[in-house]
Amino acid sequence: KAGVTQTPRYLIKTRGQQVTLSCSPISGHRSVSWYQQTPGQGLQFLFEYFSETQRNKGNFPGRFSGRQFSNSRSEMNVSTLELGDSALYLCASSLYGTDSSGNTIYFGEGSWLTVV
Partner 1 sequence: EDQVTQSPEALRLQEGESSSLNCSYTVSGLRGLFWYRQDPGKGPEFLFTLYSAGEEKEKERLKATLTKKESFLHITAPKPEDSATYLCAAGGATSGTYKYIFGTGTRLKVLA
d(CA 79, CA 16): 7
Closest approach of partner 1 to the CB of residue 86, in Å: 16
The nearer residue to partner 1, 17 or 43, going by C-beta atoms, is 43
DSSP string, 28-78: T--EEEEEEEETTTEEEEEEEEETTEEEEE-S--TTEEEEE-TTS-EEEEE
Closest approach of partner 1 to the CB of residue 65, in Å: 18
Closest approach of partner 1 to the CB of residue 12, in Å: 17
Would you tell me which residues interact with partner 1 (CB under 8 A)?
4, 33, 42-45, 48, 55-56, 58, 90, 92, 98-99, 101, 103-110
